[in-house]
């Protein structure tokens, strides 16, 4: 006991104010992320895409001897071509199948009304009409909210376009000068910490790449399985359903449920209850294959997170940033986990210590790369000094006076 204060209370107080400081820092960080969410989301998407395209750009440079700029541009244009092709195929499928599906919705609605009236529930037709009138009245009463929602959707579309342009711009420079950008960030740290930060960052990059590539493969298997099942059953919009499943597979836990529900609803509307049950069985079979075989086998040590940690991360991400937060929660937490483990002495990728072709540069080359960047600045400054000297020897009045009197141009003599 010191000054009448028990040791346990002093220890608890010490932990308390430190926790409050950390909580305040996290709150500020979350606030900044929300305020600058367009920039943050664009940077995260660019990082995920850079992890996928960096091997392509590297192969173009090493094997085909593309210049760095051309390699980055080729990889970027290839990605845009693939995404654009998928969107065109999906758009055509939606245009071809949506009209028939819309007609089928009306028929299904009439059948549902008839079933309520003539089926086991024996709902009175007047009651059904009253329900329909109430729904129409609610829509009319909330017209203002609907209009506001449309305006908000337009604003979101504008933000999405801005973000997409930013993603393309940032991704190009990540592919072209990613290592130089990373070394610039490392250079901001104290000299004694640079090597550990650099090595931890490389491990985090490897984790992010492993997660992204594995998740793409799992999402592809999900999409092909469910879309093929829909096509075999003759369910319309099979291709758009597959693309939707592929995209939503990146959202852990809830993504598979939402995309599978869409496939079942389309089957129910178009072909009835029996086909919808078969479609539900296909969705459950594919998801069980993913959850019990693909995820444990393929993910391996790419994430190394407990399911509870994944669930909490997705929940927290969704609460902070909605669907985007749920999308990025797992890769961000997995990367941070790998970095922290390395800083505390546990290296998930020990082979990187001797891998000459690893991302971030060969082992032991960090300080040489940083010194080279300083040399680049020094050469630029030296070039500027040489230009000043040339001016002084070519009859420039200011340069000549400065050379004779030791003053700079513009100073009073």
3-state secondary structure of 2: strand
138 burial level (CB within 10 Å; 0-12, 13-18, 19+): exposed
Residue-wise pLDDT for 341-386, tens only, equals 999 988 888 888 888 888 888 888 888 887 776 665 555 555 545 5
Are both 231 and 99 inside the same structural domain?
Answer: no
Q: Give the tokens for residue 109.
A: 């609605």
State how far the Cα of 229 lies from the Cα of 231, in Å rounded to an integer.
Answer: 5
Are both 223 and 356 inside the same structural domain?
Answer: yes
Task: Show the CA angle centred on residue 342, arms to residues 338 and 346, nearest 5°.
Answer: 100
User: Where among 370, 387, 406 does a domain terminate?
Assistant: 370
Are both 75 and 181 inside the same structural domain?
Answer: yes
Does a structural domain hold residue 345?
yes
Are both 295 and 218 inside the same structural domain?
Answer: yes
Are both 286 and 230 inside the same structural domain?
Answer: yes
Closest CA to 297 of 305, 286, 289: 289
Sign of CA dihedral 230, 234, 238, 239: positive
Q: Read off φ and ψ for residue 123, nearest 5 degrees.
A: -75, 135
Are both 317 and 224 inside the same structural domain?
Answer: yes
3-state secondary structure of 136: helix
Q: Give the tokens for residue 29.
A: 């960080």
Terminal alpha carbon distance of the chain: 72
Are both 321 and 238 inside the same structural domain?
Answer: yes
On whether the CB atoms of residues 68 and 58 are closer than 8 A, the answer is no
Does a structural domain hold residue 364?
yes
Sign of CA dihedral 331, 334, 340, 344: negative
Q: Read off φ and ψ for residue 301, nearest 5 degrees.
A: -95, 15
Are both 229 and 315 inside the same structural domain?
Answer: yes
Please list the pLDDT of the chain residue by residue as tens digits (413 residues): 556 678 888 888 889 999 999 999 988 988 888 888 888 888 988 998 999 899 999 999 999 999 999 999 999 999 999 888 877 877 777 666 666 566 566 666 666 666 666 665 556 666 666 666 666 666 566 655 544 544 444 456 677 788 889 999 999 999 998 888 998 889 888 989 999 999 999 999 999 988 888 888 888 888 899 999 988 988 888 888 888 888 777 766 667 778 888 888 888 877 777 888 899 999 889 888 876 676 666 665 567 777 777 778 878 887 777 777 878 888 888 899 999 999 998 888 888 888 888 888 888 888 888 777 666 555 555 554 554 444 444 444 343 343 333 333 333 33
What Rg value do the Cα atoms of the chain yield, rounded? 30
State how far the Cα of 136 lies from the Cα of 145, in Å rounded to an integer.
Answer: 15
Does a structural domain hold residue 270?
yes
Task: Please name the residues in contact with 113: beta carbons below 8 A apart, sequence gap of 6 or more.
Answer: 128
Does a structural domain hold residue 119?
no
Are both 85 and 216 inside the same structural domain?
Answer: no
Does a structural domain hold residue 338?
yes
Are both 361 and 217 inside the same structural domain?
Answer: yes
Does a structural domain hold residue 337?
yes
Does a structural domain hold residue 353?
yes
User: Where among 370, 392, 407 does a domain terminate?
Assistant: 370
Structural domain tally of the chain? 2
Are both 94 and 207 inside the same structural domain?
Answer: no
Does a structural domain hold residue 66?
yes
Domain extent, residue 41, equals 35-104+154-188
């Amino acid at each position: 006991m010191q000054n009448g204060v028990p040791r346990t209370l002093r220890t608890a107080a010490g932990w308390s104010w430190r926790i409050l400081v950390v909580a305040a820092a996290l709150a500020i960080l979350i606030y900044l992320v929300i305020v600058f969410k367009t920039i943050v989301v664009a940077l995260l998407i660019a990082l995920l895409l850079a992890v996928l395209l960096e091997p392509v750009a590297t192969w173009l440079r090493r094997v085909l001897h593309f210049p760095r700029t051309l390699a980055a541009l080729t990889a970027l244009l290839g990605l845009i071509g693939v995404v654009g092709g998928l969107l065109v195929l999906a758009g055509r499928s939606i245009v071809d199948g949506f009209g028939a599906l819309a007609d089928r919705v009306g028929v299904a609605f009439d059948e549902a009304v008839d079933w309520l009236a003539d089926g086991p529930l024996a709902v009175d037709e007047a009651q059904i009409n009253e329900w329909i009138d109430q729904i129409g009245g609610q829509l009319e009463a909330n017209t203002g909210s609907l209009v506001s929602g449309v305006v908000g959707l337009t604003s979101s579309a504008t933000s999405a376009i801005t973000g997409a342009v930013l993603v393309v711009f940032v991704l190009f420079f990540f592919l072209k000068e990613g290592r130089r950008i990373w070394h610039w960030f490392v250079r901001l740290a104290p000299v004694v910490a640079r090597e550990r930060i650099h090595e931890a960052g490389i491990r985090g990059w490897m984790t992010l790449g492993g997660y992204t590539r594995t998740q793409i493969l799992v999402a592809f298997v999900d999409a092909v399985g469910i879309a093929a099942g829909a096509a075999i059953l003759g369910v319309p919009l099979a291709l758009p359903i597959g693309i939707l499943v592929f995209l939503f597979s990146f959202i852990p836990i809830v993504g598979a449920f939402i995309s599978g529900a869409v496939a079942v609803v389309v089957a129910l509307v178009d072909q009835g209850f029996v086909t919808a049950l078969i479609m539900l069985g296909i969705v459950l079979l594919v998801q069980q294959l993913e959850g019990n075989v693909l995820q444990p086998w393929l993910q391996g040590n790419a994430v190394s997170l407990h399911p509870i940690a994944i669930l909490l991360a997705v929940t927290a991400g969704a609460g902070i940033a909605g669907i985007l937060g749920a999308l990025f929660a797992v890769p961000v937490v997995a990367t941070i986990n790998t970095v922290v483990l390395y800083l505390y002495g546990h290296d998930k990728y020990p082979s990187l210590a001797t891998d000459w072709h690893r991302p971030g540069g060969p082992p032991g080359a960090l300080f040489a790369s940083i010194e080279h960047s300083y040399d680049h600045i020094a050469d630029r400054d030296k070039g500027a000094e040489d230009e000043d000297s040339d001016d002084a020897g070519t009859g420039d009045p200011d340069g000549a006076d400065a050379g004779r009197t030791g003053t700079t141009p513009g100073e009073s003599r």
